[in-house]
Chains A and B, each alone.
Chain A
Amino acid sequence: MQSKSLSQSVGILQRLPKSWRKELQFFAFISPWLLGFIAFSGGPIIASAVISFTDWNILSTPKFVGLANYQRLVNDPLVWKALGNTIYYTIGSVILMTVASLLTAILLNQELRGVRFFRTLYFLPSVTSGVAIAILFAWMYNPEFGIINYMLYKIGIVGPNWLFDEFWAMPAIIFMSLWTIGSNMMIILAGLQDIPQSLVEAARLDGANWWQEFRYVTIPMLSPVLFLVIITSTINSFQVFLQPYVMTEGGPGNATLVLVLYLYQNAFLWWKMGYGAAIAWILAVIILILTLIQFRLAGYWVYYEGERRS
């Protein structure tokens, strides 16, 4: 009985037009995510969008206020300040993290004795939980009792106030993101391992020097992975929160006030969930636009071997 209905349904499937069958197959494979989206992640995301049009302090009944939160946001100087800081952090950290993780991955991809051990060492700071690292860095950056200025002092340099200097605070936080390149480094490393040795050898036989090999073999073959790293770092950097939250609370002045920190303060410390949600959605829309642009640009530099070109 069961097998009969199965063969029946297979028969139905086969009678469908070919394009429909392809769609069905596609949806069958992505169904876990689709299900998850419908059941879990989609609802709360839509809810947060609805909340952004209300005045809601978590316990009261949300009061619909139309675009009031968004109007207020445009006139809130702190939002603009935080947006500027967020962009500053994102540009700095995405460039720094991508370059650094690419270079370290290449270094760690060399066939050297003990390289596995070194990879593990480089991965260490990324493994350690975020809060412990943030505490350690707040300590290390302390101008009087931190190890960084202590070492600078030993070589005759008076270091800056780091986290309490309006100029240095953000670079210090960006610089700190270097220690957490572990996962990007690992993804790139996997990508490097994926480059067919035959291609590298062919390039060498043709007399390519290391730069040509890097530029014409490594980069194109690695481009899908670099694209991934850039997109996800951008998304994550725009949502930076933990470091300023633990280390500076947005100071000095508002030099390290980033959007997510400001929305957190509004939503949880000051109980203005509606306003917090509006900030979150402005942020999400900015990230989305940037991502779409990056996808557009990808056509010019990302090379997929497994892509159907029409």
Chain B
Amino acid sequence: MTKGKRLQILLLVVALTLFASSVTVSAEKIVLRVAHAWESTFVDVQKEFDKKFMEKYPHIEIRLENFAWENILEKLQTQAAAGTLPDVFYVHCSWAQQFIRQGMLMPLNSYIEATPDFNMDDMFPVGLTPYWSNGTIYALPYDAGPMALYYNKDMFDEAGLPYPTDDWVLDDLLDNAKKLTKDLNGDGRVDQWGISGTLTHETINAPVLAGFGAQLVNDDETECLVTTPEAIEAFKWWIALDTEHKVAPSPAQVTAIVEPFTFGRVGMTFGGSWMMERWLRFGTFDADVAHVPAGPAGRYTTVAGSGYGIAATTKNAEAAWLYLSEYLSEEGVKFMWGRTGRGSPSRLSAWPDFIKAWEGKNVRVFEEMLGYGLFQRPISPAAPQVSTIVNREIELMQLGRKSVEEGLQQIKQEVDAVLAEYNR
């Protein structure tokens, strides 16, 4: 065989492969594309649910599409631009208002009303907040995760300190943080800290600001309120943990990938219920959760979460609703998130199972926090840009590169401009 012939055959084979891959399966079944953002270890649970669903409704075939959380937004945007969104897809709370504004999501009110079995009273109202727009609901949550105080039990034991209690106030937090901050190896540099993770875009509005009676933006989300006296006082108190009391590791040591609480070098940290897996199950030390400490204006925390919606462009709205209503039904939530102990379920009825899954840990505090939790703010489409600005300035304040007043002034100026742009 000559070289030329071999090449020809090769070309032919390639052409055939291309042709073969284009042939699609034809079936009378309704094919429903459902997009998730699960990490690989959780996909099996999803597949199990889908299998059960398909057994119950043999006329529907579920096609699972799963992408990493950090990639799925781009994927959905691209698909939306071409009008080929999956029928049912994952919606993070911070994206919801933008999705609604762009007309990506189908209104669900009439479907919910037509399905009496789908019990809305069982869902925590705070978990539904981000999916409402002008009296219409566009997506439904599977979890509602409050921010709690995680603490390293081993470290408290070693220092001979009692664990955080439900009646802690900010002074308790500071006192304990001071006692936990140490130079373990005696080289003159602190290598164990009291607290970390206090100022992230998730915690700003609450507990940080709300605890002092302040808010990041007004209720209409038209104005940034960080320069009110209450807000300045709040920021000063929290930034002082870094700059004055030095009980927190520098932001240089705290990144999403490398997080000092995970390394067992920090006594306490703020984290959402979604961090349980990392810290309570895969930690190198014994840890637990407690309520966030109360500020002078009361006890508040932030709630975040995720849900699912139906594409406005779907051709199988009935089947898509059938799937969504089973997936997020009392049974579905129990099956997916209750018994597995993953995230904190959006439905009250799944909590007994969830608490059982975390036996020995104080996870009931999450359920209690859903009572006084506020939704992450702002929720408008301006939110991602606002959080970029706020994070950047907080980092500079914590590093001591800017005074609190300077930083807040900058936040106010930039955030006001962004809010004005989105409200135009």
Which chain B positions have C-beta within 8 A of A146? 258
Bound form: Cα–Cα A32–B361 in Å: 64
Interface residues as binary, A39-68 with B (CB distance below 8 Å gives 1, 0 otherwise): 000000000000000000111100000000
Q: How far is the CB of A71 from chain B (nearest CB, A)?
A: 15
In the complex, whether B111 has a CB less than 8 A from a CB of chain A is no
Q: Is the CB of B81 within 8 A of A253?
A: no
* Residues of B323-372 contacting chain A, CB below 8 A: none
Q: Is the CB of A142 within 8 A of B255?
A: yes
Q: Is the CB of A139 within 8 A of B258?
A: yes
In the complex, whether A145 has a CB less than 8 A from a CB of chain B is yes
Instruction: Given A59-B81, A59-B104, A139-B258, decide whether A165 and B252 contact each other with a Cβ distance below 8 A.
Output: yes
Secondary structure of the A side of the interface? loop
Q: Is the CB of B252 within 8 A of A162?
A: yes
Q: Is the CB of A143 within 8 A of B253?
A: yes
In the complex, whether B51 has a CB less than 8 A from a CB of chain A is no
Contact check: which of A58, A142, A164, A269 meets B81 at CB < 8 Å?
A58
Q: How far is the CB of A168 from chain B (nearest CB, A)?
A: 10
Which chain A positions have C-beta within 8 A of B250? 143, 161, 164
Q: How far is the CB of A92 from chain B (nearest CB, A)?
A: 21
Contact check: which of A163, A252, A270 meets B399 at CB < 8 Å?
A252
Q: Is the CB of B260 within 8 A of A269?
A: no
One of B26-34, B300-308, B384-392 contacting the partner: B384-392
Bound form: Cα–Cα A158–B188 in Å: 12
Which chain B positions have C-beta within 8 A of A13? none
Q: Is the CB of A144 within 8 A of B102?
A: no
One of B72-80, B147-155, B160-168, B290-298 contacting the partner: B72-80
Which chain A positions have C-beta within 8 A of B253? 142-145
Bound form: Cα–Cα A265–B103 in Å: 21
Q: Is the CB of A59 within 8 A of B255?
A: no
Instruction: Given A252-B395, A268-B77, A270-B384, decide whether A145 and B260 contact each other with a Cβ distance below 8 A.
Output: yes
Q: Is the CB of A144 within 8 A of B80?
A: no
Interface size class on chain B is 20 to 34
Q: How far is the CB of A175 from chain B (nearest CB, A)?
A: 17
In the complex, whether A251 has a CB less than 8 A from a CB of chain B is yes
Which chain B positions have C-beta within 8 A of A270? 384-385
In the complex, whether B396 has a CB less than 8 A from a CB of chain A is yes
Interface residues as binary, A124-148 with B (CB distance below 8 Å gives 1, 0 otherwise): 0000000000010011001111100
In the complex, whether B263 has a CB less than 8 A from a CB of chain A is yes
Q: Is the CB of A166 within 8 A of B252?
A: no
Interface residues as binary, A233-261 with B (CB distance below 8 Å gives 1, 0 otherwise): 00000000000000101111110000000
Contact check: which of B265, B396, B399 meets A144 at CB < 8 Å?
B265
Bound form: Cα–Cα A246–B258 in Å: 12
Interface residues as binary, B240-275 with A (CB distance below 8 Å gives 1, 0 otherwise): 000000000111110101101001010000000000
Q: How far is the CB of B79 from chain A (nearest CB, A)?
A: 11
In the complex, whether A70 has a CB less than 8 A from a CB of chain B is no
In the complex, whether A281 has a CB less than 8 A from a CB of chain B is no
Q: How far is the CB of B89 from chain A (nearest CB, A)?
A: 14
Q: How far is the CB of A169 from chain B (nearest CB, A)?
A: 10
In the complex, whether A303 has a CB less than 8 A from a CB of chain B is no
Which chain A positions have C-beta within 8 A of B384? 269-270
Interface residues as binary, A256-288 with B (CB distance below 8 Å gives 1, 0 otherwise): 000000000100111100000000000000000
Which chain B positions have C-beta within 8 A of A60? 102
Q: Is the CB of B80 within 8 A of A166?
A: no
Which chain A positions have C-beta within 8 A of B252? 142-144, 161-165
Q: Is the CB of A145 within 8 A of B263?
A: yes
Instruction: Given A144-B249, A268-B73, decide whether A58 and B396 contact each other with a Cβ distance below 8 A.
Output: no
* Residues of B376-400 contacting chain A, CB below 8 A: 381, 384-385, 388, 391-392, 395-396, 399
| Shortest Cβ distance from A160 into B: residue | B252
Bound form: Cα–Cα A144–B193 in Å: 12
Q: Is the CB of B401 within 8 A of A166?
A: yes
| Shortest Cβ distance from A252 into B: residue | B395
Which chain B positions have C-beta within 8 A of A59? 80-81, 102-104
Which chain B positions have C-beta within 8 A of A250? 392
In the complex, whether B98 has a CB less than 8 A from a CB of chain A is yes
Q: Is the CB of A144 within 8 A of B255?
A: no
Q: How far is the CB of A157 from chain B (nearest CB, A)?
A: 13
In the complex, whether B191 has a CB less than 8 A from a CB of chain A is yes
Which chain B positions have C-beta within 8 A of A165? 252
Which chain A positions have C-beta within 8 A of B103? 59
Q: How far is the CB of A154 from chain B (nearest CB, A)?
A: 12
| Shortest Cβ distance from A248 into B: residue | B255
Which chain B positions have C-beta within 8 A of A57? 102
Which chain B positions have C-beta within 8 A of A269? 73, 384-385, 388
| Shortest Cβ distance from B399 into A: residue | A252
Q: Is the CB of B258 within 8 A of A265?
A: no
Instruction: Given A143-B252, A269-B384, decide whether A138 and B392 contact each other with a Cβ distance below 8 A.
Output: no
Which chain A positions have C-beta within 8 A of B258? 138-139, 142, 145-146
| Shortest Cβ distance from B78 into A: residue | A58
Q: How far is the CB of A304 from chain B (nearest CB, A)?
A: 29
Q: Is the CB of A254 within 8 A of B80?
A: no
Q: Is the CB of A253 within 8 A of B77?
A: no
* Residues of B155-180 contacting chain A, CB below 8 A: none
Which chain B positions have C-beta within 8 A of A247? 255
Which chain B positions have C-beta within 8 A of A144? 191, 249, 252-253, 260, 263, 265
Bound form: Cα–Cα A60–B249 in Å: 45
Q: Is the CB of A253 within 8 A of B401?
A: yes
Bound form: Cα–Cα A47–B228 in Å: 46
Q: How far is the CB of B148 from chain A (nearest CB, A)?
A: 24
Bound form: Cα–Cα A143–B255 in Å: 11
Q: How far is the CB of B221 from chain A (nearest CB, A)?
A: 15
Instruction: Given A145-B263, A271-B102, decide whether A138 and B80 contact each other with a Cβ distance below 8 A.
Output: no
Q: Is the CB of B102 within 8 A of A58?
A: yes
Leading 6 A-B pairs by shortest Cβ distance: A164-B252, A161-B252, A59-B102, A144-B253, A142-B258, A269-B384
B residues contacting A by CB (< 8 A) are 73-74, 77, 80-81, 98, 102-104, 189, 191, 249-253, 255, 257-258, 260, 263, 265, 381, 384-385, 388, 391-392, 395-396, 399, 401
- Can you list 21 A-B pairs, Cβ within 8 angstroms, ordered by A? A58-B77, A58-B80, A58-B81, A58-B102, A59-B80, A59-B104, A142-B252, A143-B250, A143-B253, A144-B191, A144-B265, A145-B253, A145-B260, A161-B250, A162-B252, A164-B250, A164-B399, A249-B388, A253-B392, A253-B396, A269-B73
Q: A166-B401, A251-B392, A269-B73 are in contact. List 6 more A-B contacts (CB 8 A).
A: A59-B80, A143-B253, A144-B191, A165-B252, A253-B395, A265-B388
